[in-house]
Amino acid sequence: MDTNTLRKLAKICWEKDKILVVARAYGMIGYVRIVTKSHEIIEGKPDNEVKDLRLTNPWPELLKFCEIQDLNNMDKETHSHTPYIVILLNLLKQWKESHNGKSPETRKEKEEFTNLIKKAALNITEQKNFQEALQNVFHCWTPPEIPEPVQEILQDKRVDNITKDSSDFWIMAAALKLFVKSEGCLPLIGSVPDMEADTDRYVKLQSLYVFYF
């Protein structure tokens, strides 16, 4: 198809809100071009998944599960396989009790809390779970954020103007915006990262994150 005819066809498709796919091949090379007002792609498995452990705002069931884990009365094996989420929440509770219910805020307080983790370990150089706690300690004072690309989608005018012709993508985005307005954050992904832990407690943690509402 010659360029002028292709432009006319593209204009008609644009006005009728129809997707036009233009493909050309030149021997071993070629291209595919999509002409459309909106083309949404949902990446089901993003390369850089943001961890949202909700440690700054844990729900009652998660707190209860962590509180029954007494780090001071465990044998070495159990102590070394306590999930770092449990370690952080228990130490954070201990910290808040002596700091008017506040999480570490200043640089000095964050260093003190980090030292609290080291002191709670039996042997920090051998216990991988406590090393993981140190690596993820920032979750104790960093609330989950909404990534900028997601914010751009939620601010799009199509989110606030849902019609019978809206695509599934914008309908889901509108529902997400209502959720964020109500809860102040994105929904939990419903999974926990890999960590040093015994099977029973890791599975229990997974179930808590999956079935949290």
- Determine the average pLDDT of the residues in 33-55: 79
Which ranges of 59-167 does DSSP label H, i.e. alpha helix?
60-67, 76-80, 84-97, 107-120, 128-135, 148-154
Rounded Cα–Cα distance for residues 67 and 88 (Å): 11
Q: Give me the residue label for tokens 């989110």.
A: 159
Q: Is the pLDDT of residue 56 over 60?
A: yes
Q: What is the mean pLDDT of the chain?
A: 91
Query: What pLDDT is stored for residue 40 in this prediction?
Result: 84
Encode pLDDT of 83-98 as tens digits: 999 999 999 999 999 9
- Determine the average pLDDT of the residues in 18-40: 91
Q: What is the CA radius of gyration of the chain?
A: 25
Query: What pLDDT is stored for residue 110 in this prediction?
Result: 96
Q: Is the pLDDT of residue 48 over 80?
A: no
Encode pLDDT of 160-191 as tens digits: 999 998 889 999 999 999 999 998 888 888 78
Beta bridge partners of 29: 26
Query: What pLDDT is stored for residue 49 in this prediction?
Result: 65
Query: What pLDDT is stored for residue 167 in this prediction?
Result: 87
For residue 132, give both structure tokens: 């993981």
